[in-house]
Amino acid sequence: MKGKIIEEEVSLNSRKALWPNYSPPAELVFTHGVGSELFSESGQAYLDFLSGIAVTSFGHSHPHLNEALKQQADKVWHVSNLFRIPEAEVLATRLVQESFADNVFFANSGAEAVEAGLKAIRGYHAARGDNKRTRIIGFSDSFHGRTMATVAAAGNKSHMQNFVPGDQGFDHIEWGNVEALKNVISDSTAGIILETVQGEGGIRPVTQKFLASIREL
C-alpha cells in the first residue's frame, strides 16, 4: 500500500514542489542501487561515477552499512552533540588512528564542515590576539559548497555574482602554483584552503610535492 501511494503522488508531477536548483531529466528515475551501480525504473543499469556528488563513496546497499543503520534506527535517531554518543566516539577514534588528524568534527554537510574549518582558522589567530590574520588563500577551479562563505572561498565569479559582495577575506591563486602562493602570503594570511582532489575542477588530485610545499610555507 505504501509503495502504491508513493507512485500515485509521483505521478501528479510532484517535482514542481522542489526548488529548481538543477534540471534533472524527467524520464530518468533511479529505483535502487547495488555497489557501484544504479538501476532505473526500466531496469537499466548505470555505473555511478557521480556518487551523489562525492557522497556515496562506499557504494549502494552495502550489507554491513545497511545493518548498522537498521540497528541504530531501532535505538535512537538523534540527541545532538550536547550529549555523548558512544558510536560517534568509536568512529572518531578509528578515523584518527587511520589519518593525520588528532580529533574529528562531525558535520551535517560538506559546506558545514568547510565553514567550521574557516572559523577554526580565523579563531585560532584571534584567540592568540593576532586579529589582523583573517585572510584565507584559495585556488582556482575549486568548489567548497553552496553557502555564502564557501562560495567566496572558491572564488568562482559566476557563482559569486548576485550573491557574494567583495572577496569576503579570500585571496585566490592558480591551482598548483607554488610561486604564486609564496607571493600572496602576507602578515594578514590566516590559512590556506584546498581540495586534495578537485571535483568541479575536473577530478584533479593535488600532488604530494605541492602539499609538502604548502606545509613548508
How many helices and strands in the chain, by DSSP H and E?
9, 8
The proportion of the chain whose per-residue pLDDT surpasses 90, expressed as a percent, equals 76
pTM: 0.84
Residues 143-170 have pLDDT tens digits of 999 999 999 999 999 999 998 999 999 9
pLDDT band at 1 (very low <50, low <70, confident <90, very high): very low
Between CA 167 and CA 151 the distance in angstroms is: 10
pLDDT band at 201 (very low <50, low <70, confident <90, very high): confident
> For position 124, what pLDDT does the model report?
97
The overall longest dimension of the chain from CA atoms, in Å, is 65
H or E, element range at 5: helix 2-11
pLDDT band at 181 (very low <50, low <70, confident <90, very high): very high
Query: Residue 136's closest CA among 56, 195, 193?
Result: 193
Which residues, including other chains, have CB under 8 Å from residue 169's CB and lie 6 or more apart? Answer: 134, 135, 136, 152
Interstrand relation of 170-173 and 135-139 (parallel, antiparallel or unpaired): parallel
Q: Phi and psi (nearest 5°) for 205?
A: -80, 140
Is the pLDDT at 59 greater than 70? The verdict is: yes
Helix or strand or coil: residue 4? helix
Ramachandran bin of 43, using left for φ above 0, alpha for ψ from -120 to 50, beta for the remaining angles = left
Domains and CATH numbers, the chain: 2-61 (3.90.1150.10), 110-216 (3.40.640.10)
Residues 113-151 have pLDDT tens digits of 999 999 999 999 999 999 999 999 999 999 999 999 999
Helix or strand or coil: residue 150? helix
